[in-house]
Structure 1
Amino acid sequence: MVQLSKLTLDEKIGQLFICGFHSQTPDEQIKTLIEQYHLGGVIYFRRNVGSASQLADLSHNLQVLSKPLSEIPLFIAIDQEGGMVSRIDHDGVSRIPGNMSLGAAGDLKLTEAAAALGGEELFKLGINLNFAPVVDVNNNPVNPVIGVRSFGEDPKLVAAHGAAAIKGYQNQGVSATAKHFPGHGDTAVDTHLGLAVVPHDKERLEQVELLPFRKAIEVGVDMIMTAHVIFPAFESEEIPATLSYGVLTKLLREELGYEGLIVTDCLEMHAISKSVGIPEGAVKALEAGADLILVSHTMKDQVAAIKAVRAAVNSGRLTEERIDASLERILSLKEKRIGQISDKAPEITVPLTPAEESERILRQIAEKSITLVTDAGNNLPLRTDARTLVIWAEVRHFTEVDEPAHFRYTLGEALAPYFQVDEILIGSHPKSSEISAAIERSAEYSQIVVVTYTSEGRLPEGQKLLIEDLNQRTGGKLIVVSVRNPYDINEIPDVTTYLCAYENRPVTVDAIAKVLVGQIQAEGKLPVTLSSRFPAEVASI
C-alpha cells in the first residue's frame, strides 16, 4: 500500500473525491480533475455509456491516464442497481432485475445470483465499485424516489436480500454499497429536489430503518452511502445525515461499529446544494465522518468542493490527521479490490455472459416475481377466442431511471405468440385526446388489459381517468397490470383484476404474458402493503 507520508496534501484531498463527467471518452473535465486535482474516483452515468466494449475501453483509459501521476488506482463507480436504475442498459449486458422484483420473488439464492451476474459483468468492464444495493425499507406508499428500488417493507426481508446482494457483488471483486444510511424509505420528498425528514424515535428506527444496515455491516459491506435526510432522533440540528456527526460518527462508526468506507450521496442534489452549498457541504461531510465525497456532474462545483476542503485544512478547521484517517480506509480498500492496473487494453466478448446462462437466471426471477393481487372479477386466464385490446402506458420523456425507448417491448408483443391481440400505446401522462381515442377504440373489444406506469408517488391522473372509464364500461371486467409502482391500485380501487410486475423489462413482460394466458401461475409475494385490503405477504427467507 502507498505510504501516506509520500503523498502531498493535495494528493490526499483528491483521493477523497469521486466525480462524474459528460462523454464516452476521457474529456477535458475528467482529464483536468485527474491531472490537476489528483482525483480518486469517477462515476459513470448513461451519458458515459455507448456499448460494452466502449465502456471497457473507457475504464481502462481512465486508469492509464491516472497511472503515471499516481500509484493509486481509481475507483470507477456506477449506480447499477438493476431494474429502473441501470446506467448500463445495452445489448450484451445482462439486464439485472430491480430490488422489488427480487423481494417479490422471495429467493435469496436468486438475489445473490443476480448480483453475482451483475458484478461479474461490471468487473469485466473495469468497474470496481457499485453504488448498490439499496437497503432502504420502503414503508411509505408515496415515496417518490425509493419505491421499487427497495426490496420491500419488511426490515428482515430487506436485510436478508441486501446481504445476499452484497455477497454476490463482492464475491466477484466489485465493492458493494449499502444505501441510503440511516434510511430513505419512509420519506415523501425526493432529496434531489429538497430536504426530507424521518421523525421517528430511536426505538422505531432501530427496529426498521437500521436493521438492514446492521446486517450489511455484519456481512462486510465495503461502503455505506449517506442519505440527505434529517433524523431528529440522532441529530439535534436540522441538518441531513450526510452532514451529521451524530449520524455518521456517533451512530454508524461508534454504535454500529462500522469500519468500512462512508461515501456521501451526490452533493449536487438540492438537499445539499440549495441549503449549505456544495463546497461547504463537502467540508461538513468530512467533519461529520464521511470518507468519500460524491460530486457527479458540474466541474465548477467539483473544483470548488476540492478547494474548499484544501482551505479547511489550511485554516485548521479540518486536520490532516482527519484526512489521513479516511485515506487509510480508501487505500486499504483499493489495494483489496483493485490491485495493479494493466497497461494492456482489455479484450471482452459480447455478450459478457453467455446468453443461455444469463437468460436462465433473469427469466427465473421474472417468473417468480409476478404478483396477482386480486382476480375478484374472475378475468383470468385470458380467453384466446375473445377480441383483446392491450393499452400500454409508456414513458416518453426519459430520465436516468426510466427505460430507454430503444428497449421498449410491449405486452402486445409478448402476447402475440399465444393469440391475436391489438395494442394502443399512450403516454404515461396521457393527453385527453389519447384518452378519448383509447376509450372509443375499446368499444370494439370484449377483453381489455391496461398496463400502468407510475414514476412518481401516485398514478398519473390521465391513466386513472382512463381506467375508471373502461372499468365502468366493461362492468368490472378490466384487467390492470402495473409495471412499476405496485401502489397504483390505491387510485383505482374498483378494479377487480390487478397484477404487479415492478418493472417493464422484456423478460418481465414475457412473464406477465405467461401469467395472463395461464401458462404459469403468479408466484410473487406482495412485498409491500397496498392497503388494508391488500397487506404485504412476506416470503419465508
Structure 2
Amino acid sequence: MTWTPTRRTALTGGLAVALAGAGAPIAEAGGRHPDHGHHHGWVTSTLARMSLREKVGQLFVQQVYGDTATTARTENTTLYGVATPAEVVQKYMLGGVIYFAWTDSVKDPDQITALSNGLQKAALTRRTKARVPLTVGVDQEQGVVTRIGPPATQFPGSMALGAGRSTKDARSAAAITGQELRAMGITTNFAPDADTNVNPLNPVIGTRSFSSDPALASQMVAAQVTGYQRDGGVMAAAKHFPGHGDTATDSHVAFPVITHTREQWETIDAPPFRAAIEAGIDMVMTAHLAFPALDDSGDPATLSKPILTGLLREELGFEGVIITDSLEMQGVRDKYGDEEVAVRALEAGADQLLMSPALPKAFEAVVAAVESGRISRRDLDAKVRRVLTLKAERGVVRRPWSDPRRVDDVVGTAAHLAVADAVSNRTTTLVRNDDGVLPMAVSGKNLLVTGYGDTTTKTLAAGLAGQGASTTVLTTGSSPTDAQIAAAVSAAAGRDAVVVTTMKAWDTTVTDKTRGQQKLVAALRQTGVPVVVVATRDPYDVAYLGDCETYLATYSYSPVALQAAARVITGAVSPTGKLPVDVPVAGDPTTVLYPFGFGLGY
C-alpha cells in the first residue's frame, strides 16, 4: 500500500513515535549537541553495521524526479535505472536528496512534506542492519536563489540584508527560513553564500553575496549560520569555498580562474568562511574554479587536496562535512570524466558528492577506489562518520519525519510575513533623488509602471495602487525592442510619473540586449515626465543609465522587496539601506561612482 501522508493524516506506528521527539534540542552554534555522547554511540554502532556499498551511498546527494516518492518518471529511469524517487533512494542507499522546481520536488507545503516523509520512509525501510535517514536539502538562499515560493515566507536575499546592515535581521531571516524548511521535512539549506562579491561583473554570485566588504559579509554570514542551525533547526552550508566573488565567468557553463594572491585571499575571500566556521557551520560547499595562488595544478578547488584538506581542514580547522557543488556544472567536468571526478573529489577531501551526472558509474568508481586501496577504508569511514554525526547531532536521526498537521502553524504565518516586511523595509537604498521627486504623494496620481518583469511590474504597481495611485502596467522585459520603447514613451504621455524597473541593465558582456533597458530609461527621461528607476537586482545599473535623477536599489525582484520599494517611493517608509558594495563607473571598475555605505534618506 502506498504511504502518502497529507497534512491531516492520523499519526500511527513509527511516524507517531518519531514525532514524539519533535522537541529535541538543537545544538548551540559552534557547540556540541547536548546528547553528543548518545549520538557518538549511535554513529559508531551504525558505522560498524554498514556494508561498503552502504557507506559509499552516504557520500552521494542526488536530485530525484517526481512530486511524490512513488511517482514514476522517465528521468529517474534514464539516470538511475529505476522509476521512482523511493527506488532511487533504496537502490543507491543515498546519503541525501536535493529539491528543485524542475524536478517537480517543490510545489506547495503539503506536497513537499509528503515527499520528504515518503523519501525518509524509503530510506528507513530498506532491508539492512543499518537504517540511516536522509538529509533533504534545498537551495533556499532567498533573493535570486529561491526554490520554494509562497506561501513560504520570502525574503529579499543576501545583498539586501547587507544593505540593511542588521545582523539581527539576517539571523531572523535565516531562523524563519530554517523553521519553515524543517516543518516541510527539509533538513539542509545550502546557504548562506559566503562569497565576497568584489567583481561588479560577476555573473553568478552578485546579489547572492552579502557585500564586497569582507567584514560586513563575515558578520552577516555568522548571523545566518546561527539563525539556520540554532534557531531554525536545519543544517547550513557556507559556499563556495575558497571564494567565488571575483570572477566574470559562470562556473555552471565554464571554468573560472581566480587571480587573487594568497594575501588577497586571506583579506578578501577567507574572512566570511572563517566566520562561518567560528559560528559552527555544519557544512562547507566547494567551488568549481581554479585558484592558482592556493593550488597551481590547474585543477578546480573541488578536486584540490591542497585547498580542501590543506587549507579548509588543516589551516582553517573545519571539522564538519565538506560537500561539492553540483558535479553537473561544466566547471568541474572539463578535465576528467564524471566517474573520475567523483573519486578525485573524495581524495581531495570532500565528504559528499552533490548531483553526480553519472551516478551508476560514479558509485561503482568509488567502490572500486576503496577496494583497490586508492581511497583507504579509514578515510571512507572518516567521511561517513562525519555525515552520520551531522545527521545525529542536528536531530535528523531522532526525528526524520515532518508532522503534516503542523505545517500551517509554521509555514508562511502572519507573524513570519510581518517580519519579512519589516526586514525588507530596512533594505531599500535610495541612491539618487536629484530633483526631490521622492517621497511622492501618489494618492490620486496617474502612474505608469514599466520595465523588466511581468510579475515585477505588476507587484510594484499593486503596491503603489495600495497607497492610492492609479497605475497602468506596461512590461518591456529585460531586452526592450525599439517598438516596446516607443510604446512605453507613448504610454508615459500625460502621466504624473513613470516608475521603470531594471534588472542587470549593466550586463552587456554576452550580448547587447540589455542596452535596450538603458535606451528605455533614456527615452522615458526625455519625455519630461518624472522618472523613478527601481533596480530590481544588482545596484550597479545606475552607472549605465546616464544621469537618471531618481534611482532606488532593491537588490531583489522578490515581491516582498518590491512592496517595500513602493512604501519607500510613497514615503510610507523612509529609506535606510546603505550600499553594501562599491558601485564603479561604467567600464572602469577602478573608479568608484557611489561608495560602499552610500545611501540617501528623507
Give the TM-score range, shorter chain.
over 0.9
Query: 1:411 maps to which residue?
Result: 460
Of 373, 384, 398, 1:327 maps to 384
Do the aligned partners of residues 329 and 442 (structure 1) sit closer, same or farther apart at CA in structure 2, a change above 3 Å counting? same
Query: 1:450 maps to which residue?
Result: 500
- Offset from partner CA, 1:85-117 (integer Å, 9 cap, x none): 1111132x1113300111111111111111111
CA contact (8 A) 1:183 1:209 kept: yes
Q: CA deviation at 1:521?
A: 1.2
CA contact (8 A) 1:157 1:538 kept: no
Query: 1:30 maps to which residue?
Result: 85
CA contact (8 A) 2:178 2:229 kept: yes
- Residues 1:54 and 2:111 are matched in the alignment: yes
Most deviating of 492-501 and 314-323: 314-323
Query: 1:402 maps to which residue?
Result: none
Do the aligned partners of residues 204 and 221 (structure 1) sit closer, same or farther apart at CA in structure 2, a change above 3 Å counting? same
- Residues 1:369 and 2:427 are matched in the alignment: yes
1:378 partner letter: G
- Give the distance between the partners of 2:251 and 2:308, measured in 1 at CA: 18
CA contact (8 A) 1:143 1:189 kept: yes
Most deviating of 496-505 and 381-390: 381-390
- Residues 1:490 and 2:543 are matched in the alignment: yes
- Residues 1:243 and 2:292 are matched in the alignment: no
Most deviating of 418-427 and 319-328: 418-427
- Give the distance between the partners of 2:497 and 2:344, measured in 1 at CA: 59
Q: Secondary structure at the match of 1:12?
A: helix
Q: Secondary structure at the match of 2:269?
A: coil
1:490 partner letter: A
- Offset from partner CA, 1:330-365 (integer Å, 9 cap, x none): 111111111234679632342624633112211111
CA contact (8 A) 2:439 2:568 kept: yes
Of 506, 524, 534, 2:577 maps to 524
- Give the distance between the partners of 1:485 and 1:137, measured in 2 at CA: 14
Query: 2:175 maps to which residue?
Result: 116
CA contact (8 A) 2:243 2:269 kept: yes
- Offset from partner CA, 1:347-406 (integer Å, 9 cap, x none): 2342624633112211111110010011123222225365432213116xxxxxxxxx6x
Q: Secondary structure at the match of 2:169?
A: helix
Of 315, 334, 338, 1:274 maps to 334
Identity of aligned residues (%): 40
Of 50, 57, 60, 1:17 maps to 60
CA contact (8 A) 1:144 1:455 kept: no
Q: Secondary structure at the match of 2:325?
A: coil
1:113 partner letter: S
- Give the distance between the partners of 1:411 and 1:104, measured in 2 at CA: 20
Do the aligned partners of residues 455 and 277 (structure 1) sit closer, same or farther apart at CA in structure 2, a change above 3 Å counting? farther
Of 426, 429, 433, 2:479 maps to 429
Q: CA deviation at 1:244?
A: 0.4
Do the aligned partners of residues 409 and 303 (structure 1) sit closer, same or farther apart at CA in structure 2, a change above 3 Å counting? farther
Of 522, 527, 532, 1:473 maps to 527
Query: 2:18 maps to which residue?
Result: none
- Give the distance between the partners of 2:464 and 2:517, measured in 1 at CA: 22
Structure 1 alignment gaps of length 5 or more: 396-404
- Give the distance between the partners of 1:109 and 1:40, measured in 2 at CA: 33
Query: 2:198 maps to which residue?
Result: 139
Superposition pairs of residues 124-135 of structure 1, within 5 angstroms: 124-135=183-194
Most deviating of 320-329 and 451-460: 451-460
CA contact (8 A) 2:66 2:84 kept: no
1:468 partner letter: A
Q: Secondary structure at the match of 2:61?
A: strand
Q: Secondary structure at the match of 1:179?
A: strand
Of 494, 505, 513, 2:558 maps to 505
- Offset from partner CA, 1:467-502 (integer Å, 9 cap, x none): 122223328x42211011111112113212111001
CA contact (8 A) 1:392 1:411 kept: no
Q: CA deviation at 1:465?
A: 1.2
Q: CA deviation at 1:21?
A: 1.3
Structure 2 alignment gaps of length 5 or more: 1-41, 72-82, 585-591
CA contact (8 A) 2:543 2:593 kept: no
Query: 1:151 maps to which residue?
Result: 210
Query: 1:177 maps to which residue?
Result: 237
- Give the distance between the partners of 1:354 and 1:145, measured in 2 at CA: 29
Most deviating of 122-131 and 408-417: 408-417
- Give the distance between the partners of 2:254 and 2:380, measured in 1 at CA: 29
Q: CA deviation at 1:457?
A: 4.0
Do the aligned partners of residues 181 and 537 (structure 1) sit closer, same or farther apart at CA in structure 2, a change above 3 Å counting? same
Most deviating of 523-532 and 443-452: 443-452
Query: 1:420 maps to which residue?
Result: 470
Q: Secondary structure at the match of 2:240?
A: strand
Superposition pairs of residues 289-328 of structure 1, within 5 angstroms: 289-295=349-355, 298=357, 301-328=358-385
CA contact (8 A) 1:223 1:262 kept: yes
Instruction: Tell me the TM-score normalized by structure 1.
Output: 0.92
- Residues 1:5 and 2:48 are matched in the alignment: yes
Instruction: Tell me the TM-score normalized by structure 2.
Output: 0.83
Query: 1:100 maps to which residue?
Result: 159
Most deviating of 253-262 and 485-494: 485-494
Do the aligned partners of residues 351 and 497 (structure 1) sit closer, same or farther apart at CA in structure 2, a change above 3 Å counting? farther
- Residues 1:85 and 2:145 are matched in the alignment: yes
1:510 partner letter: Q
- Give the distance between the partners of 1:212 and 1:88, measured in 2 at CA: 26
Q: Secondary structure at the match of 1:449?
A: strand
- Give the distance between the partners of 1:378 and 1:107, measured in 2 at CA: 28
Of 247, 251, 254, 2:314 maps to 254
CA contact (8 A) 1:431 1:462 kept: yes
1:375 partner letter: N
- Give the distance between the partners of 1:257 and 1:341, measured in 2 at CA: 29
Q: Secondary structure at the match of 1:372?
A: strand
